């Protein structure tokens, strides 16, 4: 079953044992459509129109190639031919022909749901992913970078393997996370050749390339510096996930870092903070906050096991799929990495999480961090909170005004300027004489 490429979209061809039957799959926009049948004769594949290729949105989809007439109206074709030229299967003829997925709106009428391309050329592709030797030793790291597509932070646990001077890292592209890139360790640097194949993406043919950070011009290699603790930082430039054949960028990752990860153990997550509320007539109630990715002792947490929970007036809140239509299901715990570009988002090029709340009657909203390992749930010692200005609630009485804040390190020494990433004990003294002590990770 050879794999084929159609403008960097993955397709599959199966040539029957009878010598003339051909089955083609996923040739429409690279989607996981069903098989269409073709007839091979005299170096030409004929595909008949009207073939059922799958379901979408409760509709049965049928393949109907078409052209566009002078009045911009679609003209359905009875069939389309692919001919072999220079080792590739290409649409026959000079007229632009489009693939179309159509569904029947009545017994005689059909409606176009999707259309794609013209003059496609299907090339056979053989792409071998990097294979890690069985003798290699493995360590877990957490990778973080800024995703160029949405300008938000991404974090993930990845595998780093060593075999002599050879080093293998998976997850350097979030668009093909299972694939490894192979490099060579030279002193305190790990050097990787560019254009390494990313075979794991289900839709596109991709490759991983180092590039400069200005115009994203391709480089022959990319380099990570290795600290004395074994952590790694991309030396310069960015990592580009590129289409294999047309060389354009599929995605870009900047500020790439890998930090050693001790493994999944139950831990109390550091508390969220800086919760802010903005009312918007067009977007609804908007909330932003900072969610640390470490525990109260400053250890990295697995972002796949880190969540936040929202409370409204003291009660846990569930984002209902019936109200928040971008959600596939009801959501009461929101994953650290969750993003749908509608209800949940990132603040552009910042460390803030953002979500929208489609509720009008609330007085106080709170957010807590939740870390779940092997069924054991640990929550942050404090919740970030904000009061609805229109509720009339005044949460700052005279006695609850903070008059003094002191930070001490874990040795009990007072610190004037806490350093980012270090753990401190924060003691707040209020006007009424009460004190509140908490362990925090400085940001």
Write the pLDDT tens digit of every residue in 363-405. 999 999 999 999 999 999 999 999 988 765 544 444 445 557 7
- Mean of the pLDDT values across residues 307-334? 95
List the chain domain ranges: 3-125, 137-260, 273-391, 398-441
Nearest to 424 by CA among 413, 433, 434: 413
Higher pLDDT, 284 or 154: 154
Nearest to 363 by CA among 387, 340, 339: 387
Which strand (E) or helix (H) includes residue 306? strand 306-312
The answer for residues whose C-beta is within 8 angstroms of residue 383's C-beta and 6 or more apart is 271, 272, 311, 366, 367, 368
Q: Under a CB-based contact definition with an 8 Å cutoff, are residues 74 and 112 in contact? A: yes
Instruction: Please say if the pLDDT value at position 359 is more than 80.
Output: yes
Q: What is the CATH number of domain 273-391?
A: 2.60.40
> Do 137-260 and 273-391 show the same overall fold?
no
Q: How confident is the model at residue 78 (pLDDT cuts 50, 70, 90)?
A: very high
Query: Hey, what are 215's tokens?
Result: 């115009």
C-alpha dist (Å) from residue 423 to 218, 295, 307, 411, 441: 40, 10, 21, 11, 5
Q: Under a CB-based contact definition with an 8 Å cutoff, are residues 181 and 130 in contact? A: yes
Instruction: Please say if the pLDDT value at position 143 is more than 70.
Output: yes
Higher pLDDT, 342 or 126: 342
Q: Under a CB-based contact definition with an 8 Å cutoff, are residues 34 and 78 in contact? A: no
Average pLDDT of the residues of the chain: 85
Taken as a whole, the chain contains a residue count of: 443
Nearest to 308 by CA among 382, 374, 239, 258: 382
Q: What is the pLDDT of residue 227?
A: 97
Higher pLDDT, 196 or 245: 196
- Mean of the pLDDT values across residues 257-278? 95
Q: What is the percentage of the chain residues whose pLDDT exceeds 70?
A: 85
Contacts 24+ apart (CB under 8 A), 162-171: 162/136, 162/137, 163/132, 163/133, 163/135, 163/136, 163/137, 166/133, 166/136, 168/130, 168/132, 168/136, 169/141, 169/258, 171/143
pTM, two decimals, is 0.75
Q: How confident is the model at residue 431 (pLDDT cuts 50, 70, 90)?
A: low
Q: What is the pLDDT of residue 300?
A: 95
Q: What is the pLDDT of residue 395?
A: 47
Nearest to 63 by CA among 76, 53, 75: 53
Span of 6-10, 54-58, 258-262, 430-434 with lowest mean pLDDT: 6-10
Domain 137-260: top CATH class:
mainly beta
Residues 421 and 441: their CA atoms lie apart, in Å, by 6
Q: How confident is the model at residue 8 (pLDDT cuts 50, 70, 90)?
A: low
Q: What is the pLDDT of residue 392?
A: 55
Number of helices followed by number of strands (H, E) in the chain: 0, 39
Q: What is the pLDDT of residue 120?
A: 63
For residue range 19-74, what is the model confidence (pLDDT) as tens digits? 999 998 875 554 567 889 999 998 899 999 999 988 877 788 888 888 888 888 88
């Amino acid at each position: 079953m050879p794999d084929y490429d159609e403008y960097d979209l993955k397709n599959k061809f199966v040539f029957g044992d009878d010598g003339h039957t051909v089955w083609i799959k996923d040739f429409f926009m690279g989607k996981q459509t069903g098989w269409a049948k073709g007839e091979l004769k005299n170096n030409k594949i004929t595909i008949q129109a009207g073939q059922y290729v799958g379901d979408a949105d409760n509709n049965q989809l049928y393949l109907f190639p078409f052209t566009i007439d002078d009045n911009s109206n679609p003209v359905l074709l009875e069939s389309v031919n692919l001919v072999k030229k220079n080792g590739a299967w290409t649409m026959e003829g000079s007229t632009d022909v489009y693939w179309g997925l159509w569904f029947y709106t009545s017994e005689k009428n059909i409606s176009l749901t999707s259309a794609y391309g013209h003059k496609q050329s299907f090339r056979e592709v053989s792409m071998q992913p990097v294979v890690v030797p069985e003798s290699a030793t493995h360590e877990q790291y957490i990778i973080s970078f800024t995703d160029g597509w949405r300008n938000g932070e991404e974090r993930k646990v990845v595998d780093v393997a060593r075999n002599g001077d050879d080093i293998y890292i998976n997850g350097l592209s979030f668009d093909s996370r299972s694939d490894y890139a192979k490099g060579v360790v030279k002193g305190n640097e790990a050097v990787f050749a560019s254009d390494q194949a990313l075979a794991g993406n289900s839709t596109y043919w991709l490759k991983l390339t180092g590039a400069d950070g200005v115009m994203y011009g391709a480089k022959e290699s990319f380099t990570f510096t290795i600290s004395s603790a074994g952590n790694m930082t991309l030396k310069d430039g960015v990592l580009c996930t590129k289409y294999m054949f047309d060389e354009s960028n599929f995605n870009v990752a900047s500020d790439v870092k890998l930090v050693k990860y001790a493994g999944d153990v139950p831990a109390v997550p550091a508390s969220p903070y800086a919760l802010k509320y903005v009312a918007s007539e067009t977007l609804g109630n908007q909330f932003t906050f900072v969610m640390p990715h470490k525990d109260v002792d400053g250890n990295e947490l697995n972002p796949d096991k880190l969540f936040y929970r929202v409370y409204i007036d003291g009660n846990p809140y569930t984002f209902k799929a019936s109200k928040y239509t971008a959600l596939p299901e009801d959501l009461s715990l929101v994953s650290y990495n969750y993003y749908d570009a509608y209800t949940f988002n990132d603040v552009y090029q910042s460390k803030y999480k953002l979500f929208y709340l489609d509720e009008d009657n609330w007085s106080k909203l709170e957010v807590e961090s939740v870390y779940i390992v092997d069924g054991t749930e640990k929550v942050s010692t404090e919740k970030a909170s904000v009061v609805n200005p229109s509720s009339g609630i005044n949460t700052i009485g005279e006695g609850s005004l903070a008059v003094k804040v002191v930070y001490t390190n874990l040795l009990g020494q007072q610190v004037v300027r806490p350093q980012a990433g270090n753990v401190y004990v924060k003691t707040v003294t209020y006007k009424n004489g009460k004190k509140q002590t908490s362990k925090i990770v400085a940001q």
